[in-house]
Amino acid sequence: MSSKQNNKLKIIRLIEILIFIVGLFLASAITISYQKKIQHSQNEQSESEPEFQSETDSVRTSPVLSETVTALVSEIYTTPAVTTQIAMIPYIDTPYCKSAALYCVEDKQFLYSYNTDERIAPASLTKLLTSSVALEYLSTDEILTVGSEQAFVQPYSSLCGLQYGSTASLGDFVTGMLMASGNDAAYTIAVSSARKLNPDNDLSDTDAVNYFCRLMNEFAGNIGMTNSNFANPDGWDNDNHYTTVSDLVILADYVLKNPYIRNVVGMQNVRIPFISGEVYEWTNSNLLLNPYSDYYRENAIGVKTGTTLNAGNCLISAFEINGKTYISVVAGCYEDWDRYELTLKIIDSIT
């Protein structure tokens, strides 16, 4: 090859390299410009809709089932295996909630998942755990009496209306606690259960509550609620009292397998005579069960409402549809009716 030809090839090669470098530069510039446009768009959205911003905003626009939720299902249920074909319901932006989920018990599958591993205050949803722990150790016929533990009940609590000295079975107290969301019943159940499990120890009210809360946390861990901690039996706001929607799905699944609790959370009205002579009439706080409510659903079978300042308005509900049981959990809604409207939007997405 001549010197002239060799130089020509070198020039051609140099031109090719320069074209390649310019191409890389242009591609990089386009990418940066595109990212800036996206960021600018997100900033505009955050200014116009600040109430919908959180650490997991990416889930709002492109919801996907988190690896933690998938691991949760796989850990709790070994057979049948969790399906890999996830039928995800698109994100529902109104009414607002802090976190939510829809779970099919028979398919062992999450159909809707939003912020399910974010820490939340459980409010009176706690009482599902309180009843589960008490019935784990005592029979429904165990006799309890209302006593000085009522001093723990906070002002403006939801109550069954219990009187000092009232006597009834554990089953009756559980009914009042779950249907009327009675904080008074929650403390009688906790303290009485702790003392019956420690007959040789003279437990003070405080010691009895602390003992029962230890049982609550042990029980929660045993059924798979690994991201929760409970500091009281009624769900009153406390920095050390928290859970997640993922854990609440586990709890709801458990209580629906307990025949006594499942029956109670599905009742709309009840009238119970106490051993001590009082007669109590309680109406379920869950409007999904009220035939005169705008939110009534004939296929609803429970489960529990919860409301505190930190928790917002929360609802665990369950529905029987085409032979399957669906558990819905919504937490952190602004208004009472928001939790029902969101729940029905989610459940209607599969019907």
Q: Please give the Cα distance from 102 to 104 (Å, whole number).
A: 7
Would you state the pLDDT for residue 18?
58
Report residue 87: phi and psi, to 5°.
Answer: -90, 90
Query: Model confidence at 88, in pLDDT bands (50, 70, 90)?
Result: confident
152-to-165, 220, 230, 254, 331 alpha-carbon distances in Å: 16, 23, 16, 28, 25
- 118 belongs to a structural domain: no
- 132 belongs to a structural domain: yes
- 185 belongs to a structural domain: yes
Q: Are residues 133 and 14 in the same domain?
A: no
- 187 belongs to a structural domain: yes
168-to-122, 132, 135, 195, 334 alpha-carbon distances in Å: 27, 18, 15, 16, 37
- Contact predicate 182/144, CB 8 Å: no
Would you state the pLDDT for residue 60?
30
The DSSP result for 70-116, as a single string, is HHHHHHH--SSPPPS---PPPP--SS--SEEEEEETTTTEEEEEEST
Q: Residue 231 belongs to a domain with what CATH number?
A: 3.40.710.10
**10-19, 54-63, 215-224, 240-249, range with the lowest pLDDT:** 54-63
Would you state the pLDDT for residue 42?
40
More confident of the two residues 327 and 11? 327
Kindly state the average pLDDT of the residues 308-327: 97
Question: In 211-240, which positions are buried (b, 16+ CB within 10 angstroms) versus exposed (e)?
Answer: bbbebbbebbeeebbebbbbbbbbbbbeee
Q: Please give the Cα distance from 244 to 226 (Å, whole number).
A: 9
Tell me the CB-side half-sphere exposure of residue 202, using CA atoms within 13 A: 0
pLDDT tens, position by position, 164-210: 999 999 999 999 999 999 999 999 999 999 999 999 889 999 999 99
As given in the structure block, the two tokens for residue 58 are: 């990416």
Average pLDDT taken over every residue of the chain: 83
Which amino acid type is present at position 264?
A: V
Residue 210's domain comprises: 123-348
Q: Are residues 252 and 340 in the same domain?
A: yes
Q: Are residues 132 and 41 in the same domain?
A: no
Closest by CA position to 248, among listed 345, 116, 67, 130: 116
More confident of the two residues 344 and 8? 344
Distance of CA 150 to the CA centre of its chain: 28
Would you state the pLDDT for residue 76?
38
Looking at the 3D structure of the chain, how many domains does it have? 2
- 109 belongs to a structural domain: no
- 72 belongs to a structural domain: no
Q: Are residues 161 and 251 in the same domain?
A: yes
Query: Model confidence at 281, in pLDDT bands (50, 70, 90)?
Result: very high
pLDDT tens, position by position, 4-58: 444 555 565 666 555 555 555 554 554 444 444 434 444 443 333 333 323 223 2
- 111 belongs to a structural domain: no
Q: Are residues 181 and 323 in the same domain?
A: yes
Q: Are residues 180 and 33 in the same domain?
A: no
Q: Please give the Cα distance from 169 to 163 (Å, whole number).
A: 15
Would you state the pLDDT for residue 86?
47
pLDDT tens, position by position, 104-148: 999 999 999 999 999 999 999 999 999 999 999 999 999 999 999
- 68 belongs to a structural domain: no
Q: Are residues 11 and 156 in the same domain?
A: no
